[in-house]
């Protein structure tokens, strides 16, 4: 396997991948907003019938399985960097004839030329080291007239699921969100790399994709069943590591305590839900 995204390879095969594989962010025990995101994504991608579907950064495979159900005479391939997450995906797909998974870096993975009718991604396309190369690789794998649809976060100040825990770790109020985003001491987290609308259009255009459409949607982010789960999920994330490792006065125990306290008000019967804002992007080859 050739991997150019070595930083993301390490994160998603390490703590971050383990938490997601165990059903951390989002969780899989009750109906959760991620299912709503997937419905919106597959509707936008017009997945159906005999479609050959590529799911980029498929994680534990929820979206891949739903795509395969919508294309019963077709096939869905889930591609991801993370071994632990693909292990979970393969377990979930056991017995399903039209789903396969491969481990690889979407930026360079040798996908078959024109081998797919449609490529989709739920939050799996923001981590590329070279996004133009990655989307060009995906474009090459689409047949002429093929479709791309993905969901990615809008800028961090519109995402309370990011602002609330980061503010807690920094020991500041979550309002105004722009202040929290500015106070974050690290580089902008990779998950927001496509959060600027103009950048999405620019990257896709340079990758040779056409008919780009970008719609704002607002589906809450579910972190887990309880505030303790949500705190653990955020503890495993890149931004937490960045803050804790650079603040000598902040222990991991104190970080966990602050996150639990900040996330507790968002806990309800449906789990820990925080406001979120996403882009639903479609394009074509
Ligand atoms: C935020 S998770 C989303 C997972 C899944 N799509 C979901 O919605 O549950 C991002 C995923 O992208 C994968 N990923 C990151 N960079 C990748 C790359 N270059 N090629 C393939 N997968 C990648 C990670 O391993 C991780 O599983």
Instruction: Check residue 26 and give its pLDDT.
Output: 44
Instruction: Check residue 28 and give its pLDDT.
Output: 44
The residue contributing the CA closest to ligand 1 atom 14 is: 57
* Average pLDDT of the residues in 170-179: 98
Domain residue extents for the chain = 6-155+190-223+272-284
Q: How many CA atoms lie within 13 A of 122 on its CB side?
A: 26
Q: Work out the number of other CB atoms within 10 angstroms of the CB of residue 67.
A: 30
**In which element (H, E) is residue 77 found?**
strand 75-80
Instruction: Check residue 31 and give its pLDDT.
Output: 55
pLDDT at 140 over 90: yes
Q: What is the pLDDT of residues 107-137, one digit of tens each?
A: 999 999 999 999 999 999 999 999 999 999 9
Q: Does domain 6-155+190-223+272-284 have CATH number 3.40.50.150?
A: yes
Mutate to test the pocket of ligand 1, among 57, 111, 123 (most ligand atoms within 8 A of CB): 57
Instruction: Check residue 30 and give its pLDDT.
Output: 40
Q: What's the gap in Å between 106 CA and the centre of ligand 1?
A: 9
**Closest by Cα among 213, 12, 215 to 106:** 12
pLDDT at 160 over 70: yes
Give 1's pLDDT tier (boundaries 50, 70, 90).
confident
Average pLDDT, the chain: 93
């Amino acid at each position: 396997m050739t991997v150019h995204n070595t930083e993301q390879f390490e994160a998603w095969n390490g703590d971050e991948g383990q938490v997601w594989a165990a059903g951390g962010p989002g969780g899989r025990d009750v109906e959760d907003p991620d299912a709503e995101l997937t419905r919106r994504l597959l509707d936008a991608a017009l997945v159906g019938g005999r479609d050959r579907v590529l799911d980029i950064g498929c994680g534990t495979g929820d979206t891949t399985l739903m795509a395969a159900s919508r294309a019963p005479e077709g096939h869905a391939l889930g591609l991801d960097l993370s071994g632990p997450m693909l292990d979970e995906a393969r377990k979930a797909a056991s017995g399903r004839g039209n789903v396969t998974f491969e481990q690889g870096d979407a930026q360079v993975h040798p996908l078959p030329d024109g081998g797919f009718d449609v490529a989709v991604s739920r939050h799996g396309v923001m981590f590329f080291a070279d996004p133009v190369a990655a989307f060009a690789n995906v474009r090459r794998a689409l047949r002429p007239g093929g479709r791309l649809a993905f969901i990615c976060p809008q800028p961090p100040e519109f995402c309370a699921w990011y602002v609330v825990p980061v503010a807690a770790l920094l020991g500041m109020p979550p309002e105004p969100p722009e202040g929290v985003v500015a106070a974050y001491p690290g580089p902008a987290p990779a998950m927001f790399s496509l959060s600027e609308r103009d950048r999405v259009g620019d990257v896709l255009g340079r990758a040779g994709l056409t008919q780009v459409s970008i719609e704002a949607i607002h589906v809450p982010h579910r972190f887990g069943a309880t505030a303790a789960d949500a705190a653990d999920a955020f503890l495993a994330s890149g931004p937490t590591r960045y803050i804790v490792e650079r603040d000598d006065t902040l222990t991991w125990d104190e970080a966990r305590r602050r996150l639990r306290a900040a996330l507790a008000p968002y806990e309800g019967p449906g789990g820990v839900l925080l406001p979120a804002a996403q882009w639903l992007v479609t394009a074509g080859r």
